[in-house]
Amino acid sequence: MKLASPEEFAKTSVLAVQEYSMLCVRAVSNLFSAPRYWADIYTQADSIGIGSLPIVLLTGFFTGCVLALQSATALSQFGAKNITGQLVSLSMVKELGPVLTSLMVSGRNASGMASEIGSMKVTEQIDAMRALGTDPIRKLVTPRIVATVFMLFFLTIISDAVGTVGGAMVSIFLLGLDGSQYFHIAYQTLMYPDVLQGLIKPVFFGFIIASIGCYFGMNTKGGTQGVGKATTQAVVFSSVLIIVVDFLISRTMIGIFGR
Amino acid sequence: MPETTLIAEQPAPQPDQTGPVVVFDNVSIAFEDKQVLEDISFTVEPGETRIVLGPAGCGKSVLMKLANGLLCPDSGSIHVFGEEVSKMPEVDLFTLRARIGMVFQESALFDSMTVCDNVAFRMHEEHMPEDEVQQRVLESLRFVELEQAVNKFPSELSGGMRRRVAIARAVVSKPELILYDSPTGGLDPITSTTIIELVMKQRDVFHNTALVVTHRLQDAFTLATHEYDVQEHTMKPIPNKGIDPKTKFLVLNEGRIVFDGTTMDLVHTDDPWLKEYLS
């Protein structure tokens, strides 16, 4: 395998960042001018949002269950098993709900976007769209970004809710804790900054998932092998970027609100 | 017979373009240090059919994409309908492309849409009334003799049928300029003849300007020596072994033009490479 020179690698990387940035700017600016493809937005929202619901429900539920189980073991040592609800609620709303939901949606949808748009690219369907007078970014990318940001927001809320319920079921049926006490503590613990942090993250993550998926799709080269490579890269890059941006947002929000 | 009535009702539109339709002026383009086209200059007049010949990899498809503004040259200028497409922003190119129809090498049909939606794509984007859209889609599919496939998906069609749908999609908006990128590429001889007949029909009935890329010499010379008979719905040799005066040739080799002229000049060329290529 031929090794790329550092100079070539740096140039390629900078070019990729530039092209990604331009794609994002064009996709967002399309929202402020006609035509807007509302039908495509609804179709994508259905596919991304409703389509991802089963996986989000399962992920959220069992994450809450495991959190309650693991935290109760640790908290028992300090006689603080009763605050399991606090730990589950805070963890789910601030961190695990947004991040795990986004990672699941990324694996499902970033790959789907990259492969669908990539297949269109290698079969000249994107060129055909341009030849027929339609902007492919306006028609393909903008609806996916809007739909993903919108639906991930609500999927995260659903994930937080079922995660809290999952933690409650483990706490009540396996750990013998009082149910009303669990929910009371889980609710009381949450402050405005916690909820705000938990709801701002999916907006950013949704944008990352859709923009990365569409970027790799629109830049696919090399036939079916290229489509496979674009699909893998879309999932890898979006997942890593979600984790990095999660840290940045958490640090920023804690810096502003103190928690 | 509906098709005869259809064609008879539509008078052949006369080109309202006074100057050349396509002008390439010293156009060069390279991809990853490989010079694909070098110093290409030629002109296509209104109503002319320019057949672009050349061996595989000589830049024919790239030339078509340059003509439609899908690619930007590294140097030189390209004018289509008097407008410099090589410098136009994409937003302005969308408007210009309403006058251009393009048939891609592998059809490039949208595989998630039916044949009807594929052919109607541009009209749906322009928010044309649905009953008018349906009428024009059926007219266009009737032109390529695929009316029965209107609700099928591209995956259900053969290669030849997909190519015909691609032609229907390109001509439904009655463009003044049609770009055919290897319309018979990968097809068997019988299907190729059907496709060439459609290209000829479009040329002789509607008098469009066209650029036709092909690597099949027999298709090229068929276009030059035959005409479409509207009464009998088939192509026939031009009487007295005639040549269509509006069909000219452009031959590329290794990114350069090696011939630009009429059919007779090509057939009687003294260039040894051309003679070998044509033999």
ipTM of the complex: 0.87
C-alpha dist (Å) from residue B189 to A209, B184, B194, B206: 47, 9, 9, 25
Distance from CA of B172 to the nearest CA of A (A): 11
**The token pair that represents B234 in the structure block:** 């088939």
If one counts every other C-beta atom within 10 angstroms of the C-beta of residue A38, the result is 10
**The token pair that represents A30 in the structure block:** 């399309």
The answer to whether A82 touches A185, Cβ cutoff 8 Å, is: yes
DSSP string, A179-232: HHHHHHHHHHH--HHHHHHHHHHHHHHHHHHHHHHHHHHHT--SHHHHHHHHHH
pLDDT tens-digit readout, B215-239: 888 999 999 999 999 888 888 999 8
Contact between chains at A127 and B100 (C-beta distance less than 8 A): no
State pTM to two decimals. Answer: 0.88
Rounded to an integer, the average pLDDT of A136-147 is 97
Contact between chains at B125 and A134 (C-beta distance less than 8 A): yes
Domain map (residue ranges) of chain B? 2-278
Minimum Cα–Cα distance from B92: chain A residue: A133
pLDDT tens-digit readout, B7-29: 333 444 444 557 899 999 999 99
Rounded to an integer, the average pLDDT of A114-141 is 95
Instruction: Give pLDDT, residue A244.
Output: 97
Torsion angle of alpha carbons A57, A60, A62, A65, nearest 10°?
-130
Contact between chains at B110 and A133 (C-beta distance less than 8 A): no
> What architecture does CATH give domain B2-278?
3-Layer(aba) Sandwich (3.40)
Instruction: Give pLDDT, residue B10.
Output: 44
Minimum Cα–Cα distance from A34: chain B residue: B125
- In the predicted structure, residue B46 carries a pLDDT above the cut 60: yes
* Residue B215 three-state SS: coil
Q: Which residues contact A120 (CB under 8 A, 6 or more apart)?
A: A126, A129, A140, A217, B110
Partner residue facing B70 (CB), from A123, A125, A127: A127
Place of tokens 């289509």: B80
pLDDT tens-digit readout, A75-94: 888 888 888 899 999 999 99
Instruction: Give pLDDT, residue B220.
Output: 92
Q: Shortest CA distance to A199 belongs to which of A118, A115, A93, A116?
A: A93
Chain A residues with CB inside 8 Å of B169's CB? 132
- In the predicted structure, residue B116 carries a pLDDT above the cut 70: yes
Distance from CA of B113 to the nearest CA of A (A): 12
Rg, chain B, Cα only = 18
- In the predicted structure, residue B146 carries a pLDDT above the cut 90: yes
Distance from CA of B238 to the nearest CA of A (A): 34
Compute the residue count for chain B: 279
What does the angle CA A207 – CA A212 – CA A216 come to, to the nearest 5 degrees? Answer: 155
What does the angle CA A117 – CA B87 – CA B120 come to, to the nearest 5 degrees? Answer: 45
